[in-house]
Amino acid sequence: MSLFDQLHPEWQNALADYSPLISKIESRINKDDVAPAYENIFAAYQLPASKVKVAIFGQDPYPTPGYAHGLAFSVDANVEPLPASLRNIFKELERDCAVTQPENGDLHRWANQGVFLLNQILTTKPTLSLAHHDYGWQEFSAATAKVIGESGAIGIFWGSKAQELSQYFDPQLSISSPHPSPLSAYRGFFGSAPFSKANALLRKQGRQEISW
């Protein structure tokens, strides 16, 4: 199955103009040496565009082999220890919403409620950060953000690169902060309360809150 065909049909329709770009990116990817694994690159896009209530944008996938699995910030349930960024996300979640640290780092439980988790760059070479920064992913993630923003969904933007995508969202529905990585979490991620803010906005929209 080609990479573009791995998108949910709603996304294939919404992003049809970008099929040539995905084919070009696919031609540059070594399917046996990519993070996340080739079949998981579009894991986030299994959530139909019409079901997205909140979108969380990051920067690029975890380069540590076995970590990235297609949802930004998420890891498979058996990954231990958790990546530092995810540990910080859970620390802020506990501070913000009194949610004790989940049993594992698999965020499909959020995606199943309408949370779209996307990195601005969707792939990298294992062990190397930003190895695919020049593949064209930013154009595709921007197009994705535009579709989601126009739907009236809430956008959460962690880090300066992710914040480039906030232009596609209503400012009243945008929540931005520094990245949760250890290098920047203490510069404003901690205390940013993104989870309770998103739920407050969902309440105003008359939509069901996320059980973070």
Residue 79 to residue 177: CA distance in whole angstroms: 26
CA atoms within 13 A on the CB side of 94: 8
Q: Is 60 a residue of the active site?
A: yes
Helical spans, DSSP H, in 117-159? 137-150
Residue 26 to residue 149: CA distance in whole angstroms: 26
Please choose, from the candidates 122, 123, 126, 83, the residue with its C-alpha nearest in 3D space to the C-alpha of residue 104: 83
Task: Answer whether 187's CB lies under 8 Å from 166's CB.
Answer: no
Helix, coil or strand: residue 67: coil
Give the CA dihedral 28, 128, 181, 42, nearest 10 degrees.
30
Residue 37 to residue 67: CA distance in whole angstroms: 10
Phi, psi of 128 (to 5 degrees): -125, 120
For residue 81, is the peptide bond before it cis, meaning its omega torsion is within 30 degrees of 0?
A: yes
Annotated catalytic residue, options 17, 32, 33, 60: 60
- Enumerate the active-site residues: 60
